[in-house]
Protein backbone atom coordinates (compact mmCIF):
# COMPACT_ATOMS: atom_id res chain seq x y z
CA UNK A 1 0.00 0.00 0.00
CA UNK A 2 1.45 3.37 -1.04
CA UNK A 3 1.17 6.50 1.04
CA UNK A 4 0.51 9.76 -0.81
CA UNK A 5 1.48 13.17 0.57
CA UNK A 6 0.24 16.36 -1.03
CA UNK A 7 2.58 19.36 -0.67
CA UNK A 8 0.64 22.63 -1.19
CA UNK A 9 3.58 24.65 -2.56
CA UNK A 10 4.02 22.71 -5.76
CA UNK A 11 1.33 20.04 -5.57
CA UNK A 12 3.94 17.29 -5.67
CA UNK A 13 2.96 13.70 -4.95
CA UNK A 14 5.27 11.54 -2.84
CA UNK A 15 5.27 7.76 -2.75
CA UNK A 16 6.81 5.70 0.01
CA UNK A 17 7.76 2.08 0.20
CA UNK A 18 5.95 -0.38 2.44
CA UNK A 19 7.57 -1.20 5.79
CA UNK A 20 6.06 -3.38 8.49
CA UNK A 21 5.84 -1.33 11.68
CA UNK A 22 7.51 -3.91 13.88
CA UNK A 23 9.95 -5.28 11.36
CA UNK A 24 13.35 -3.65 11.88
CA UNK A 25 14.98 -5.37 8.89
CA UNK A 26 15.69 -3.10 5.95
CA UNK A 27 16.56 -4.25 2.45
CA UNK A 28 18.83 -2.69 -0.14
CA UNK A 29 15.71 -1.70 -2.10
CA UNK A 30 14.13 0.36 0.66
CA UNK A 31 14.58 3.79 -0.92
CA UNK A 32 12.14 4.53 -3.74
CA UNK A 33 14.00 5.58 -6.87
CA UNK A 34 10.90 7.30 -8.26
CA UNK A 35 10.67 9.47 -5.15
CA UNK A 36 14.23 10.65 -5.69
CA UNK A 37 13.35 11.61 -9.26
CA UNK A 38 10.40 13.67 -8.08
CA UNK A 39 12.31 15.54 -5.39
CA UNK A 40 15.31 16.28 -7.63
CA UNK A 41 13.14 17.34 -10.57
CA UNK A 42 11.32 19.88 -8.41
CA UNK A 43 14.28 21.25 -6.44
CA UNK A 44 16.39 21.62 -9.59
CA UNK A 45 13.60 23.15 -11.68
CA UNK A 46 13.83 26.67 -13.07
CA UNK A 47 10.98 27.62 -10.72
CA UNK A 48 13.45 27.39 -7.83
CA UNK A 49 15.94 29.64 -9.63
CA UNK A 50 19.08 27.84 -8.47
CA UNK A 51 18.14 27.94 -4.75
CA UNK A 52 20.31 30.89 -3.69
CA UNK A 53 19.90 31.90 -0.04
CA UNK A 54 17.87 35.09 0.27
CA UNK A 55 16.29 34.68 -3.16
CA UNK A 56 12.71 33.79 -4.07
CA UNK A 57 13.95 30.35 -5.06
CA UNK A 58 15.64 29.97 -1.70
CA UNK A 59 12.39 30.76 0.07
CA UNK A 60 10.56 28.21 -2.07
CA UNK A 61 13.18 25.61 -1.18
CA UNK A 62 12.77 26.13 2.56
CA UNK A 63 8.98 26.02 2.22
CA UNK A 64 9.27 22.79 0.26
CA UNK A 65 11.40 21.19 2.98
CA UNK A 66 9.11 22.33 5.79
CA UNK A 67 6.08 20.96 3.97
CA UNK A 68 7.69 17.55 3.55
CA UNK A 69 8.76 17.40 7.20
CA UNK A 70 5.25 18.40 8.28
CA UNK A 71 3.70 15.74 6.07
CA UNK A 72 5.91 13.19 7.81
CA UNK A 73 4.83 14.54 11.24
CA UNK A 74 8.42 15.10 12.28
CA UNK A 75 9.11 17.32 15.28
CA UNK A 76 11.00 20.60 15.47
CA UNK A 77 14.03 21.33 17.65
CA UNK A 78 12.99 24.67 19.13
CA UNK A 79 9.41 25.05 18.02
CA UNK A 80 10.24 25.83 14.40
CA UNK A 81 11.65 23.83 11.51
CA UNK A 82 13.57 26.96 10.44
CA UNK A 83 16.77 27.74 12.36
CA UNK A 84 18.03 31.30 11.86
CA UNK A 85 21.33 31.88 10.06
CA UNK A 86 22.08 35.63 9.83
CA UNK A 87 23.83 36.47 6.56
CA UNK A 88 25.14 39.44 4.65
CA UNK A 89 25.21 39.65 0.88
CA UNK A 90 27.91 41.77 -0.75
CA UNK A 91 27.80 42.42 -4.50
CA UNK A 92 30.78 43.97 -6.28
CA UNK A 93 29.28 46.58 -8.58
CA UNK A 94 30.30 47.61 -12.09
CA UNK A 95 33.19 50.03 -12.10
CA UNK A 96 35.08 47.98 -9.52
CA UNK A 97 38.52 46.81 -10.55
CA UNK A 98 41.85 45.29 -9.63
CA UNK A 99 44.92 46.55 -11.44
CA UNK A 100 48.67 46.08 -11.24
CA UNK A 101 50.86 49.16 -11.10
CA UNK A 102 54.04 48.49 -13.08
CA UNK A 103 57.15 50.53 -13.80
CA UNK A 104 55.89 51.15 -17.34
CA UNK A 105 52.25 51.83 -16.51
CA UNK A 106 49.13 50.17 -15.16
CA UNK A 107 47.69 46.82 -16.18
CA UNK A 108 43.95 46.56 -15.61
CA UNK A 109 42.96 42.92 -15.01
CA UNK A 110 39.86 41.72 -16.82
CA UNK A 111 37.20 40.61 -14.33
CA UNK A 112 36.21 37.02 -15.11
CA UNK A 113 38.69 36.02 -17.79
CA UNK A 114 41.86 37.10 -15.91
CA UNK A 115 40.86 37.65 -12.30
CA UNK A 116 38.01 37.16 -9.88
CA UNK A 117 37.85 39.32 -6.76
CA UNK A 118 35.59 40.18 -3.84
CA UNK A 119 35.74 41.35 -0.24
CA UNK A 120 34.52 39.90 3.06
CA UNK A 121 34.46 43.39 4.55
CA UNK A 122 30.95 44.74 4.89
CA UNK A 123 31.69 48.18 3.51
CA UNK A 124 30.20 50.09 0.60
CA UNK A 125 33.66 50.92 -0.71
CA UNK A 126 36.97 49.14 -0.24
CA UNK A 127 40.19 50.59 -1.61
CA UNK A 128 43.77 49.36 -1.89
CA UNK A 129 46.38 51.85 -3.03
CA UNK A 130 49.89 51.02 -4.15
CA UNK A 131 50.16 47.79 -2.12
CA UNK A 132 53.55 46.10 -2.57
CA UNK A 133 53.18 42.57 -3.96
CA UNK A 134 55.06 39.74 -2.23
CA UNK A 135 55.25 36.12 -3.31
CA UNK A 136 54.72 34.01 -0.18
CA UNK A 137 54.92 30.51 -1.65
CA UNK A 138 51.90 28.54 -0.46
CA UNK A 139 50.95 31.10 2.19
CA UNK A 140 51.12 28.48 4.95
CA UNK A 141 52.04 28.73 8.62
CA UNK A 142 52.08 25.18 10.05
CA UNK A 143 54.15 24.80 13.25
CA UNK A 144 53.63 21.05 13.35
CA UNK A 145 55.46 20.82 10.02
CA UNK A 146 58.07 23.43 10.94
CA UNK A 147 56.67 25.59 8.14
CA UNK A 148 56.28 29.37 7.85
CA UNK A 149 55.98 30.89 4.39
CA UNK A 150 55.88 34.37 5.89
CA UNK A 151 59.09 34.11 7.90
CA UNK A 152 60.98 37.35 8.19
CA UNK A 153 58.40 39.43 6.32
CA UNK A 154 56.16 42.11 7.80
CA UNK A 155 53.07 41.86 5.59
CA UNK A 156 51.35 44.97 6.92
CA UNK A 157 49.78 46.80 3.98
CA UNK A 158 51.21 44.34 1.44
CA UNK A 159 49.56 42.00 -1.07
CA UNK A 160 50.29 38.30 -0.59
CA UNK A 161 50.64 36.38 -3.87
CA UNK A 162 50.50 32.61 -3.38
CA UNK A 163 50.07 29.15 -4.85
CA UNK A 164 47.03 26.93 -4.38
CA UNK A 165 47.09 23.59 -2.50
CA UNK A 166 50.15 22.63 -0.39
CA UNK A 167 53.74 21.41 -1.03
CA UNK A 168 52.82 17.76 -0.52
CA UNK A 169 50.72 17.71 -3.69
CA UNK A 170 53.46 19.28 -5.79
CA UNK A 171 56.10 16.79 -4.66
CA UNK A 172 53.88 13.71 -4.12
CA UNK A 173 56.17 13.09 -1.15
CA UNK A 174 54.26 11.46 1.70
CA UNK A 175 56.82 12.83 4.14
CA UNK A 176 55.91 16.41 3.20
CA UNK A 177 52.59 17.47 4.72
CA UNK A 178 50.38 14.53 3.63
CA UNK A 179 51.83 13.99 0.20
CA UNK A 180 49.20 13.72 -2.49
CA UNK A 181 46.38 14.19 0.00
CA UNK A 182 45.45 17.83 0.49
CA UNK A 183 45.62 19.17 4.03
CA UNK A 184 43.48 22.01 5.34
CA UNK A 185 46.46 24.28 4.65
CA UNK A 186 45.88 23.73 0.96
CA UNK A 187 42.36 25.15 0.99
CA UNK A 188 41.84 28.66 -0.37
CA UNK A 189 39.68 29.53 2.63
CA UNK A 190 42.62 28.93 4.97
CA UNK A 191 44.99 30.97 2.80
CA UNK A 192 42.84 34.09 2.93
CA UNK A 193 42.38 33.77 6.69
CA UNK A 194 46.10 33.26 7.36
CA UNK A 195 47.07 36.24 5.21
CA UNK A 196 44.72 38.39 7.29
CA UNK A 197 46.37 37.14 10.47
CA UNK A 198 49.70 38.18 8.96
CA UNK A 199 48.42 41.72 8.40
CA UNK A 200 48.20 41.59 4.60
CA UNK A 201 45.97 44.08 2.82
CA UNK A 202 45.08 41.88 -0.15
CA UNK A 203 45.57 38.31 -1.40
CA UNK A 204 46.09 36.95 -4.90
CA UNK A 205 45.91 33.16 -5.40
CA UNK A 206 47.43 31.79 -8.60
CA UNK A 207 45.07 29.30 -10.20
CA UNK A 208 46.22 26.00 -11.67
CA UNK A 209 43.72 23.32 -12.55
CA UNK A 210 45.44 20.24 -11.10
CA UNK A 211 46.29 21.57 -7.61
CA UNK A 212 43.03 23.55 -7.38
CA UNK A 213 41.07 20.43 -8.43
CA UNK A 214 38.88 22.41 -10.84
CA UNK A 215 39.32 24.52 -13.99
CA UNK A 216 39.28 28.32 -14.12
CA UNK A 217 35.64 28.34 -15.20
CA UNK A 218 34.67 27.11 -11.73
CA UNK A 219 36.47 30.07 -10.13
CA UNK A 220 34.87 32.41 -12.65
CA UNK A 221 31.31 31.24 -12.04
CA UNK A 222 31.52 30.56 -8.30
CA UNK A 223 32.94 33.85 -6.96
CA UNK A 224 31.56 36.51 -9.24
CA UNK A 225 28.39 38.39 -8.46
CA UNK A 226 26.68 38.21 -5.08
CA UNK A 227 28.85 36.80 -2.31
CA UNK A 228 27.28 35.61 0.93
CA UNK A 229 28.90 35.42 4.36
CA UNK A 230 27.79 35.08 7.95
CA UNK A 231 26.90 38.38 9.56
CA UNK A 232 29.82 38.69 11.93
CA UNK A 233 30.13 41.03 14.90
CA UNK A 234 33.12 42.89 13.37
CA UNK A 235 31.48 43.03 9.92
CA UNK A 236 34.45 41.23 8.40
CA UNK A 237 37.01 43.87 9.33
CA UNK A 238 39.43 41.16 10.46
CA UNK A 239 39.72 39.96 6.84
CA UNK A 240 42.00 41.33 4.14
CA UNK A 241 40.45 44.07 2.02
CA UNK A 242 40.57 42.15 -1.26
CA UNK A 243 40.47 38.38 -1.81
CA UNK A 244 41.19 37.30 -5.37
CA UNK A 245 42.37 34.71 -7.88
CA UNK A 246 44.31 35.23 -11.11
CA UNK A 247 44.91 32.84 -13.99
CA UNK A 248 48.25 31.08 -14.31
CA UNK A 249 49.05 32.83 -17.60
CA UNK A 250 48.49 36.26 -16.06
CA UNK A 251 50.70 35.28 -13.13
CA UNK A 252 53.52 34.21 -15.43
CA UNK A 253 53.42 37.58 -17.17
CA UNK A 254 53.48 39.52 -13.90
CA UNK A 255 56.39 37.53 -12.50
CA UNK A 256 58.31 38.08 -15.73
CA UNK A 257 57.64 41.83 -15.46
CA UNK A 258 59.27 41.71 -12.03
CA UNK A 259 62.29 39.82 -13.37
CA UNK A 260 61.19 36.63 -11.63
CA UNK A 261 60.75 33.07 -12.88
CA UNK A 262 57.48 31.68 -11.51
CA UNK A 263 58.39 28.05 -12.16
CA UNK A 264 61.73 28.41 -10.38
CA UNK A 265 60.08 30.09 -7.40
CA UNK A 266 57.52 27.31 -7.23
CA UNK A 267 60.37 24.86 -6.75
CA UNK A 268 61.91 27.01 -4.03
CA UNK A 269 58.55 27.14 -2.25
CA UNK A 270 58.66 23.37 -1.74
CA UNK A 271 61.04 23.59 1.22
CA UNK A 272 60.66 24.93 4.75
CA UNK A 273 63.65 27.19 4.09
CA UNK A 274 61.65 29.28 1.61
CA UNK A 275 61.37 32.99 2.41
CA UNK A 276 58.99 35.55 0.88
CA UNK A 277 60.13 37.30 -2.29
CA UNK A 278 59.24 40.92 -3.00
CA UNK A 279 57.91 41.33 -6.55
CA UNK A 280 59.88 44.46 -7.37
CA UNK A 281 58.12 47.02 -9.49
CA UNK A 282 54.67 45.51 -8.96
CA UNK A 283 52.00 47.03 -6.72
CA UNK A 284 48.33 46.23 -6.46
CA UNK A 285 45.59 48.80 -6.73
CA UNK A 286 41.90 48.07 -6.26
CA UNK A 287 38.53 49.77 -5.94
CA UNK A 288 35.53 47.72 -4.90
CA UNK A 289 32.14 49.43 -4.88
CA UNK A 290 29.73 47.18 -3.05
CA UNK A 291 26.01 46.80 -2.68
CA UNK A 292 25.22 45.40 0.77
CA UNK A 293 22.11 43.57 1.83
CA UNK A 294 21.46 41.88 5.14
CA UNK A 295 19.33 38.80 5.11
CA UNK A 296 18.34 35.98 7.36
CA UNK A 297 18.57 32.53 5.85
CA UNK A 298 17.75 29.31 7.61
CA UNK A 299 18.88 25.81 8.18
CA UNK A 300 15.89 23.48 8.05
CA UNK A 301 15.82 20.80 10.75
CA UNK A 302 13.40 18.09 11.79
CA UNK A 303 13.56 15.32 14.38
CA UNK A 304 12.06 11.89 14.84
CA UNK A 305 12.36 11.54 18.60
CA UNK A 306 14.00 8.45 20.06
CA UNK A 307 11.86 6.13 22.13
CA UNK A 308 14.50 5.42 24.83
CA UNK A 309 17.35 7.93 24.44
CA UNK A 310 15.81 11.00 22.80
CA UNK A 311 18.74 13.25 23.73
CA UNK A 312 21.15 11.17 21.66
CA UNK A 313 21.09 11.87 17.93
CA UNK A 314 21.99 10.34 14.58
CA UNK A 315 22.47 13.20 12.11
CA UNK A 316 21.68 13.19 8.39
CA UNK A 317 22.75 16.36 6.58
CA UNK A 318 22.73 17.91 3.10
CA UNK A 319 22.98 21.49 1.87
CA UNK A 320 19.89 22.86 0.14
CA UNK A 321 21.45 25.90 -1.58
CA UNK A 322 23.17 26.40 -4.91
CA UNK A 323 24.47 29.37 -6.92
CA UNK A 324 21.14 30.89 -7.89
CA UNK A 325 20.51 32.99 -10.99
CA UNK A 326 23.16 35.28 -12.51
CA UNK A 327 20.97 38.16 -13.68
CA UNK A 328 23.77 39.81 -15.64
CA UNK A 329 24.63 36.63 -17.58
CA UNK A 330 23.33 36.12 -21.12
CA UNK A 331 21.74 32.85 -22.16
CA UNK A 332 21.03 30.15 -19.61
CA UNK A 333 21.76 31.95 -16.35
CA UNK A 334 20.06 29.61 -13.85
CA UNK A 335 22.48 27.42 -11.91
CA UNK A 336 19.99 24.67 -11.12
CA UNK A 337 22.34 22.50 -9.05
CA UNK A 338 20.64 19.20 -9.83
CA UNK A 339 23.54 17.00 -8.78
CA UNK A 340 24.90 19.67 -6.42
CA UNK A 341 22.87 19.31 -4.30
CA UNK A 342 19.28 18.49 -5.13
CA UNK A 343 20.41 14.87 -4.97
CA UNK A 344 21.59 15.15 -1.37
CA UNK A 345 18.44 16.93 -0.25
CA UNK A 346 16.31 14.31 -1.98
CA UNK A 347 18.38 11.71 -0.14
CA UNK A 348 17.66 12.99 3.36
CA UNK A 349 13.98 13.47 2.51
CA UNK A 350 13.73 9.88 1.38
CA UNK A 351 15.64 8.67 4.44
CA UNK A 352 13.19 10.60 6.61
CA UNK A 353 10.20 8.94 4.96
CA UNK A 354 11.73 5.47 4.95
CA UNK A 355 12.90 5.52 8.58
CA UNK A 356 9.58 6.99 9.73
CA UNK A 357 8.10 3.48 9.75
CA UNK A 358 10.68 2.00 12.11
CA UNK A 359 11.33 2.30 15.81
CA UNK A 360 14.40 4.30 16.81
CA UNK A 361 15.65 4.39 20.39
CA UNK A 362 17.86 7.37 19.62
CA UNK A 363 16.58 10.48 17.87
CA UNK A 364 17.02 10.94 14.12
CA UNK A 365 17.95 14.49 13.11
CA UNK A 366 17.46 15.64 9.51
CA UNK A 367 19.33 18.85 8.72
CA UNK A 368 19.26 20.76 5.42
CA UNK A 369 21.81 23.55 5.71
CA UNK A 370 22.06 26.85 3.86
CA UNK A 371 24.92 28.73 2.21
CA UNK A 372 27.27 25.80 1.65
CA UNK A 373 28.31 27.26 -1.68
CA UNK A 374 29.39 30.46 0.09
CA UNK A 375 31.85 28.68 2.38
CA UNK A 376 29.92 26.06 4.40
CA UNK A 377 28.20 28.89 6.27
CA UNK A 378 25.00 27.13 7.34
CA UNK A 379 26.78 24.15 8.83
CA UNK A 380 29.38 26.46 10.40
CA UNK A 381 26.65 28.44 12.13
CA UNK A 382 24.95 25.25 13.31
CA UNK A 383 28.26 24.03 14.72
CA UNK A 384 29.10 27.34 16.43
CA UNK A 385 25.62 27.93 17.84
CA UNK A 386 24.16 24.42 18.11
CA UNK A 387 20.52 24.08 19.17
CA UNK A 388 21.41 20.67 20.64
CA UNK A 389 24.40 19.34 22.55
CA UNK A 390 26.86 18.27 19.85
CA UNK A 391 28.56 15.87 22.26
CA UNK A 392 25.29 13.91 22.14
CA UNK A 393 25.41 13.47 18.37
CA UNK A 394 26.47 9.84 18.08
CA UNK A 395 27.37 10.03 14.39
CA UNK A 396 26.61 12.06 11.30
CA UNK A 397 26.14 11.30 7.60
CA UNK A 398 26.66 13.93 4.91
CA UNK A 399 25.10 13.73 1.45
CA UNK A 400 26.53 16.04 -1.19
CA UNK A 401 26.43 15.83 -5.00
CA UNK A 402 25.50 12.19 -5.54
CA UNK A 403 25.97 11.51 -9.24
CA UNK A 404 23.51 9.39 -11.27
CA UNK A 405 25.84 6.62 -12.44
CA UNK A 406 23.52 3.64 -12.10
CA UNK A 407 24.27 0.63 -9.89
CA UNK A 408 27.82 0.37 -8.63
CA UNK A 409 30.01 -2.27 -7.07
CA UNK A 410 31.97 0.15 -4.88
CA UNK A 411 31.47 2.90 -2.34
CA UNK A 412 34.01 5.70 -1.89
CA UNK A 413 34.78 7.19 1.52
CA UNK A 414 35.95 10.79 1.30
CA UNK A 415 38.57 11.50 3.95
CA UNK A 416 39.18 7.77 4.37
CA UNK A 417 40.99 6.67 7.52
CA UNK A 418 39.03 8.85 9.94
CA UNK A 419 36.63 6.91 12.15
CA UNK A 420 35.00 3.61 13.05
CA UNK A 421 32.03 4.56 10.89
CA UNK A 422 34.13 3.27 8.01
CA UNK A 423 34.38 -0.15 9.68
CA UNK A 424 30.60 -0.22 10.12
CA UNK A 425 30.09 0.69 6.48
CA UNK A 426 32.58 -1.86 5.19
CA UNK A 427 30.93 -4.65 7.14
CA UNK A 428 27.51 -3.67 5.81
CA UNK A 429 28.77 -3.53 2.22
CA UNK A 430 29.97 -7.11 2.42
CA UNK A 431 26.36 -8.15 2.88
CA UNK A 432 25.61 -6.76 -0.57
CA UNK A 433 28.80 -7.90 -2.31
CA UNK A 434 30.11 -4.37 -2.56
CA UNK A 435 33.53 -3.08 -1.64
CA UNK A 436 34.83 0.07 0.03
CA UNK A 437 37.33 2.31 -1.74
CA UNK A 438 39.52 4.91 0.00
CA UNK A 439 39.19 8.43 -1.38
CA UNK A 440 40.80 8.08 -4.84
CA UNK A 441 41.42 11.83 -5.10
CA UNK A 442 42.66 12.96 -1.67
CA UNK A 443 44.64 15.69 -3.40
CA UNK A 444 41.40 17.53 -4.19
CA UNK A 445 40.59 18.05 -0.53
CA UNK A 446 36.94 17.04 -0.78
CA UNK A 447 37.01 16.26 2.95
CA UNK A 448 37.40 20.00 3.60
CA UNK A 449 34.94 21.11 0.92
CA UNK A 450 31.63 19.91 2.29
CA UNK A 451 29.53 20.53 5.38
CA UNK A 452 30.60 17.54 7.44
CA UNK A 453 33.87 19.31 8.25
CA UNK A 454 31.99 21.91 10.34
CA UNK A 455 30.74 19.15 12.65
CA UNK A 456 34.00 17.21 12.52
CA UNK A 457 35.82 20.23 13.91
CA UNK A 458 33.54 19.96 16.95
CA UNK A 459 34.41 16.30 17.41
CA UNK A 460 31.35 14.67 15.85
CA UNK A 461 32.30 11.52 13.87
CA UNK A 462 31.04 12.16 10.34
CA UNK A 463 30.89 9.88 7.32
CA UNK A 464 30.93 11.27 3.80
CA UNK A 465 30.51 8.23 1.57
CA UNK A 466 29.07 7.95 -1.91
CA UNK A 467 28.76 5.53 -4.76
CA UNK A 468 32.07 4.97 -6.53
CA UNK A 469 32.93 4.50 -10.19
CA UNK A 470 32.90 0.71 -10.70
CA UNK A 471 29.61 0.36 -12.58
CA UNK A 472 27.81 -2.97 -12.59
CA UNK A 473 27.29 -2.37 -16.30
CA UNK A 474 30.37 -0.84 -17.88
CA UNK A 475 32.93 -1.19 -15.10
CA UNK A 476 35.45 1.38 -13.91
CA UNK A 477 36.11 2.90 -17.33
CA UNK A 478 32.46 3.86 -17.79
CA UNK A 479 32.22 5.23 -14.27
CA UNK A 480 35.36 7.30 -14.64
CA UNK A 481 34.04 8.84 -17.84
CA UNK A 482 30.79 9.90 -16.15
CA UNK A 483 32.72 11.42 -13.24
CA UNK A 484 35.05 13.29 -15.60
CA UNK A 485 32.15 14.62 -17.68
CA UNK A 486 30.50 16.09 -14.59
CA UNK A 487 33.64 17.78 -13.23
CA UNK A 488 34.73 19.25 -16.55
CA UNK A 489 31.33 20.20 -17.99
CA UNK A 490 28.65 20.55 -15.34
CA UNK A 491 30.15 21.29 -11.92
CA UNK A 492 28.99 24.79 -10.87
CA UNK A 493 27.65 25.42 -14.37
CA UNK A 494 24.09 26.09 -15.65
CA UNK A 495 24.27 22.65 -17.30
CA UNK A 496 23.97 20.88 -13.91
CA UNK A 497 20.33 20.14 -14.72
CA UNK A 498 18.00 17.22 -14.03
CA UNK A 499 17.13 14.82 -16.85
CA UNK A 500 14.28 12.32 -16.79
CA UNK A 501 16.55 9.55 -18.05
CA UNK A 502 18.88 9.75 -15.04
CA UNK A 503 19.64 6.30 -13.63
CA UNK A 504 19.20 6.78 -9.88
CA UNK A 505 19.26 3.09 -9.00
CA UNK A 506 22.75 3.32 -7.54
CA UNK A 507 21.88 6.33 -5.39
CA UNK A 508 18.75 4.58 -4.14
CA UNK A 509 20.75 1.48 -3.28
CA UNK A 510 23.46 3.44 -1.44
CA UNK A 511 20.85 5.37 0.55
CA UNK A 512 19.12 2.11 1.48
CA UNK A 513 22.36 0.67 2.83
CA UNK A 514 22.98 3.89 4.75
CA UNK A 515 19.46 3.65 6.18
CA UNK A 516 20.37 0.22 7.57
CA UNK A 517 23.47 1.62 9.25
CA UNK A 518 21.51 4.52 10.72
CA UNK A 519 18.82 2.22 12.07
CA UNK A 520 21.44 -0.08 13.61
CA UNK A 521 23.08 2.87 15.37
CA UNK A 522 19.76 4.34 16.43
CA UNK A 523 18.85 1.09 18.21
CA UNK A 524 22.20 0.43 19.87
CA UNK A 525 24.30 1.94 22.62
CA UNK A 526 27.41 2.16 20.43
CA UNK A 527 29.44 5.35 20.15
CA UNK A 528 31.69 5.18 17.05
CA UNK A 529 35.06 6.81 17.67
CA UNK A 530 37.62 8.64 15.60
CA UNK A 531 40.66 6.49 14.91
CA UNK A 532 43.70 6.90 17.11
CA UNK A 533 45.81 9.78 15.83
CA UNK A 534 42.95 11.59 14.10
CA UNK A 535 43.03 15.36 14.67
CA UNK A 536 39.42 15.38 15.91
CA UNK A 537 39.68 12.52 18.40
CA UNK A 538 40.84 14.63 21.35
CA UNK A 539 38.05 17.15 20.74
CA UNK A 540 35.49 14.36 20.90
CA UNK A 541 36.98 12.85 24.02
CA UNK A 542 36.99 16.21 25.78
CA UNK A 543 33.36 16.91 24.87
CA UNK A 544 32.22 13.46 26.00
CA UNK A 545 34.01 13.91 29.34
CA UNK A 546 32.35 17.27 30.11
CA UNK A 547 30.20 17.50 33.27
CA UNK A 548 26.97 17.53 31.23
CA UNK A 549 27.76 14.00 30.03
Residue-by-residue pLDDT tens, the chain, 549 positions: 223 233 334 333 333 332 333 345 665 457 889 999 999 999 999 999 999 998 999 999 999 999 999 999 999 998 999 999 999 989 999 899 999 999 889 999 999 999 999 999 999 999 999 999 999 999 999 988 999 999 999 999 999 999 999 999 999 998 999 898 888 899 898 999 999 999 999 999 999 999 998 999 999 988 888 888 888 889 999 999 999 999 999 999 999 999 999 999 999 999 999 999 999 999 999 999 999 999 899 999 999 999 999 999 999 999 999 999 998 899 999 999 999 999 999 999 999 999 999 999 999 999 999 999 988 999 999 998 999 999 999 999 999 999 999 999 999 999 898 899 999 999 999 999 999 999 888 888 888 888 999 999 899 999 999 889 999 999 999 999 999 999 899 999 999 999 999 999 999 999 999 999 999 999 999 999 999 877 788 889 999 887 666
User: Which contacts (CB < 8 Å, 24+ apart) does range 147-153 have?
Assistant: 147/272, 148/272, 149/269, 149/274, 149/276, 150/198, 150/276, 151/275, 151/276, 152/275, 152/276, 153/275, 153/276
Domain identity same for 231 and 314: no
Domain identity same for 381 and 510: yes
Q: Is residue 298 part of a domain?
A: no
The CA-atom distances, in angstroms, between 509 and each of 158, 384, 516 are 53, 34, 11
Domain identity same for 381 and 461: yes
Question: Which of 234, 265, 292 is the endpoint of a domain?
Answer: 292
Q: What phi and psi values does residue 504 have, to the nearest 5 degrees?
A: -100, 10
Q: Is residue 9 part of a domain?
A: yes
Domain identity same for 313 and 355: yes
The CA-atom distances, in angstroms, between 284 and each of 15, 109, 119, 157, 463 are 58, 11, 15, 11, 43
Domain identity same for 468 and 337: yes
Give the CATH number for residue 105.
3.50.30.30
Domain identity same for 137 and 188: yes
Q: What phi and psi values does residue 325 have, to the nearest 5 degrees?
A: -115, 130
Domain identity same for 42 and 129: no
Question: Which of 292, 318, 345 is the endpoint of a domain?
Answer: 292
Question: Which of 247, 265, 292 is the endpoint of a domain?
Answer: 292
Structural domain span for residue 316: 4-75+305-544
- Number of domains, the chain: 2
Alpha-carbon Rg for the chain in angstroms: 24
Amino acid sequence: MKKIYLVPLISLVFFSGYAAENDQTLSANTIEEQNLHQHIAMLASDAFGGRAPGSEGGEKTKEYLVNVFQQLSLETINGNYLLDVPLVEVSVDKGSYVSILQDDGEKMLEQGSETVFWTKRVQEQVSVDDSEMVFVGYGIVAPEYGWNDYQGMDMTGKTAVMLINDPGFATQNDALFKGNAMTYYGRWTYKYEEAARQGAEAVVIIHETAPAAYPWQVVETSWQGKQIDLKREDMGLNRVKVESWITHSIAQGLFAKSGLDLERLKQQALTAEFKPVVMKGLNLKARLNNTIRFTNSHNVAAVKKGSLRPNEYILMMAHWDHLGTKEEQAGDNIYNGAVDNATGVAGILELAETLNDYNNERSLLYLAVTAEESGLLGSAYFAEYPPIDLSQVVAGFNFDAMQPRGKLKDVVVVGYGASQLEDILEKKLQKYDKYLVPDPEPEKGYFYRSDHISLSKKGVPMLYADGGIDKVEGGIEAGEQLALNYVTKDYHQPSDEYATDWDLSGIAEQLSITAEIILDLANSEDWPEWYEGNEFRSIREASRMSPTN
